Amino acid sequence: MSLQVYIPADAAAVALDADSVATALQAAAVRRGVDITITRTGSRGLHWLEPLLEVATSRGRVGYGPVSVSDVEAILVAALNGSAHPLCIGIVDDLPFLKRQSRLTFARCGIVDPRSLDDYVAHDGYKGLTRALEIGAAATITTVTTSGLRGRGGAGFPTGIKWDTVAKTDAAQKYIVCNADEGDSGTFADRMIMEGDPFVLIEGMTIAGIATGATQGYIYVRSEYPHAIATLNAAILAARRGNKLGRNVVGSSHHFDLDVRVGAGAYVCGEETALLDSLEGKRGTVRAKPPLPAHKGLFGCPTVINNVLSLATVPIILDKGAEFYRDFGMGRSRGTMPIQLAGNIKHSGLFEIAFGITLGELVDNIGGGTLSGRPVRAVQVGGPLGAYFPRELFDTPFDYEAFTARDGLIGHGGIVVFDDTVDMAKQARFAMEFCAVESCGKCTPCRVGSTRGVEVIDRIIKDDGRLANIELLKDLCNTLKFGSLCALGGFTPYPVMSAITHFPEDFGITPPSRQAAE
Amino acid sequence: MNGYLAWDETAARNVINALKAKPGALLPVLHELQETFGYIAPDAEPVIAEALNISRAEVHGVVTFYADFRTTPPPAHQLKLCRAEACQAMGADRLAERATARLGIGMGESSADHRVCLEPVYCLGLCTVAPSAMLDDRIVGRLDERKLDALLAEVER
């Protein structure tokens, strides 16, 4: 009897011992004389069930999770006999958490072998590039623009317009740079794509290169992601061997190649101009704009710099058409967003859905509330520079403009849930502390203001001139917001001010001043 | 002890020469030197500067800008504890206090016997299985007192 089993090699599964589970399963199968094939996939994004072991059956993949080494023997018996097991969750594709999603960017993640080019092609891979070559560069850019795709890194700038600017700038050398410096706490979607479906990113970058006339691409990955780096490098080698990268890509007249570059533990390098400086071998300090990277980017050449998710979404847009993608979403936020549910949440993981779903729906219904079982008190949306939202704002739809209107941001789509034990003054202090640690030092408000911010919040917590210091903190936040070149200094006021506005009691102020704290 | 070579200028030159043709070679060079020797020796800076045709100040500026680059030999083990928001929401601060108390060192410090250093890390991307940690090359999710104590016992051995 032969058995096909899938076990994620995604870092979230590996951190919960997935490698040992795979080894133990292999050993158990050998002992029983079972012919077993274990394929290491990416993750389905059902992280509360990791390590999630899936067995191929005639009805689809049957899941078991969360699996520990001691469960392996019994699961093997259950899978062979088709008998029940307490960890069995049935057909994975039928789980409500997956059924409710619209998986476009993450269509293959958790399903395919991330290191197999053949598997990628067998699951509709490289259809986007084929289409792009048929319709030509100009129509490719028009398709991306018409789809309404906006930068998924957080800024939300229309991807097609960036490409068009680079395409129209004359230069002997142009670059495609992928920003994979995913440093925001609560976000891991880039990591999941790089570990679970790296070819979709490679294909997206190749399409970008051909459309804009760039021949070299760089993927700048943070050093905290060793598994992603290894998978990407393996996939790039496979793509080169399969003539999907290099000279005359897939037999066309276009050349495009890719290199992975590794960051070195600087959060600010997620800012696009600091990233470019870092790629050039310099300190990762922010550049003033203009010039835009599209005009003068890497090594002074026109450069498309896009987030992993933006580039990984391009293949499906080319394959299925701009209208198909644009029909998802609301307002000016078109398509889908891979939303990341993290922190103190029961059903943690990745949930890709059209823009427009409310924050409350995501946290309470899909996420199932807190893991600790205590009430949800605050959620931080959009990473360490995102605002803290209380329950009263849970009707906010997931949409770039709707979050901006409520003094927040969706950023890279991460949601971190906190229960009622959270101390919001401590969280505000941490935001300033983080800014002080990670500031590149170029702008004085960010470099000095963050340290002063920590001191002022300490005085507020100690009730040392509390009201005067709250005024001082607001003033300081304004200085940071308007006096910094990039989002690190400019957005650190979001978590700080939202904590004061929505949770004044944690700062020792009584709620009537809620309006005054505005 | 942890598989690193002792600092050696000739070996360093070989590492640098293999990479210096890359555009923007400094970060790849520094990573590779650290992989080889465990840290960026102060003596490496003028060698790198000469090979890449940049000033020693530029090299020093880059080495000291990035949190990853060490300028002293690493201890036998590096234990990184994530201190970012998603891990905070799951009790990371309490675990960090437990680790510092048990090892008798602060965050960012090395033990006197050079067995271990304790380092804060701001996000390992394991926010769904928080709190998270990394001991040398091994990642650990859903860190709790029991798992942390096991990691600490391992580094103290």
CA proximity to A378, closest of A337, A339, A344, A346 = A344
Clarify whether residues B60 and B85 are in a common domain: no
In single-letter form, the type of residue at position A129 comes to L
Answer yes or no: do B61 and B81 share one domain. Answer: no
Question: For residue A364, how many other CB atoms are within 10 A of its CB?
Answer: 16
Same domain flag for B61 and B14? yes
Q: CA nearest A313: which of A335, A328, A294?
A: A335
- Residue A83's pLDDT is 94
- Across the interface, do A186 and B86 touch by the CB < 8 Å criterion? yes
Asked if residue B145 is part of any domain, the answer here is: yes
**Residue range B89-105: average pLDDT?**
97
Residue % of chain B over a pLDDT of 90? 97
Q: Which domain holds residue B21?
A: 9-65
Assess whether B140 and B83 both reside in one domain: yes
Write out chain A residues lying below 8 Å of B126, CB-based. Answer: 11-12, 15, 188
Q: Per DSSP, what are the bridge partners of residue A240?
A: none
Interface test with A, best of B90, B121, B146 (most A CBs within 10 A): B90
Phi, psi at residue A412, to the nearest 5°?
Answer: -95, 10
- A-B interface: how many C-beta pairs under 8 angstroms? 142
Q: Which of B23, B52, B86 sits opposite A185 (nearest CB)?
A: B86
Q: Is residue B100 located within the same domain as residue B135?
A: yes
Search chain A and give the residue with CA nearest B147: A16
**CA distance, residue A507 to nearest chain B CA (Å):** 19
Using the Cβ of B23 and the Cβ atoms of chain A, whether some distance falls under 8 Å is answered with: yes
- A6: number of Cβ within 10 Å: 23
- A418 contact residues in B (CB cutoff 8 A): 89
Q: What is the pLDDT of residue A513?
A: 47
Phi and psi torsions of A78, nearest 5°: -60, -40
Judging by DSSP bridges, how do beta strands A376-381 and A388-390 pair with one another? antiparallel
- State whether B52 and B83 are in the same domain: no
Residue spans of alpha helices (H) in A399-510: 400-405, 424-438, 444-447, 449-461, 466-483, 487-491, 493-502
d(CA A340, CA A225): 17
Domain boundary among B43, B65, B87: B65
The residue among B26, B43, B65 that closes a domain is B65
The helix (run of H) or strand (run of E) holding residue A76 is helix A72-81
Q: In this structure, are residues A122 and A208 in contact, taking their beta carbons and an 8 Å threshold?
A: no
Chain-chain contact of B123 with A185 (C-beta, under 8 angstroms): yes
Instruction: Inform me whether the pLDDT recorded for B1 exceeds 70.
Output: no
The DSSP letter of residue A242 is T
Contact A394, A363 (CB under 8 A): yes
Residue B58 lies in a domain: yes
Chain A: residue whose CA lies nearest to B20: A281
Q: Does B28 touch chain A (CB under 8 A)?
A: yes
Q: Residue B69 belongs to what H/E stretch? A: none
Token pair recorded at residue A467: 């009201």
Give the contacts of A346 (CB within 8 A, at least 6 positions apart).
A48, A367, A368, A369, A370, A371
Question: Which domain CATH number covers B98?
Answer: 3.40.30.10
| A119 closest CA partner among A19, A242, A274, A2 | A242
Q: Are residues B89 and B59 in the same domain?
A: no
Count of structural domains within chain B = 2
- For residue A511, the model assigns a pLDDT of 65
Please indicate, yes or no, whether residues B113 and B43 belong to a single structural domain of this protein: no
Look at residues B36, B65, B94 and tell me which one is the last residue of a structural domain. B65
B27 phi, psi to nearest 5 deg: -65, -45
Same domain, yes or no: B133 and B108:
yes
Is B1 among the domain residues? no
Residues of A in contact with B58 (CB under 8 A): 282
Instruction: Tell me which chain A residues have a C-beta less than 8 angstroms from the C-beta of B70.
Output: none
Taking chain A (518 residues) in runs of 10, the rounded mean pLDDT of each run is 94 98 98 97 98 97 98 97 96 97 98 98 98 98 98 94 98 98 97 98 98 98 98 98 98 98 97 98 97 98 98 98 97 97 98 98 98 98 97 97 97 97 98 97 97 98 97 97 96 98 94 50
B85 part of a folded domain: yes
Q: Of A340, A343, A348, A346, which Cα lies nearest the Cα of A370?
A: A346
Specify whether B49 is located in the same domain as B95.
no
Q: What is the distance between the terminal CA atoms of chain B, rounded to a whole angstrom?
A: 13
- B141 and A CB contact within 8 Å: yes
Q: Is A324 on the interface with B (CB under 8 A)?
A: no
B73, β-bridge pairs: none
What percentage of residues in chain B have a pLDDT greater than 70?
A: 99
Per-residue pLDDT at A11? 98
Q: What is the predicted pLDDT for the residue at A188?
A: 98
CB-CB: which of A15, A223, A279 is closest to B132?
Answer: A15
- pTM of model > 0.90: yes
For residue B36, is it within any domain? yes
Looking at the structure, tell me whether residues B81 and B121 fall in a common domain.
yes
Of A351, A357, A409, A348, the C-alpha closest to A380 is A409
Residue B71 lies in a domain: no
Same domain, B19 and B61: yes
Q: B96 lies in a domain?
A: yes
Nearest-neighbour CA in chain A from B9: distance (Å): 22
Residue B48 falls inside a structural domain: yes
Helices (H), A95-218: 96-99, 117-122, 127-147, 159-168, 189-196, 198-212
Q: How confident is the model at residue B156 (pLDDT cuts 50, 70, 90)?
A: confident
Task: Set out the domains of chain A in order of their start, with CATH numbers.
Answer: 2-96 (3.40.30.10), 117-326 (3.40.50.11540), 330-419 (3.10.20.600), 424-514 (1.20.1440.230)
Q: Which of A262, A90, A65, A86 is closest to A178 using CA atoms?
A: A262
For residue A161, which phi and psi values (nearest 5 degrees)? -70, -40
B24 touching A (Cβ < 8 Å): yes
CB under 8 A, 24+ apart: contacts of A294-299: A294/A162, A294/A165, A294/A166, A294/A169, A295/A165, A295/A169, A297/A175, A297/A177, A298/A175, A298/A177, A298/A218, A299/A173, A299/A175, A299/B23, A299/B24
Note whether A300 contacts B: Cβ–Cβ < 8 A: no
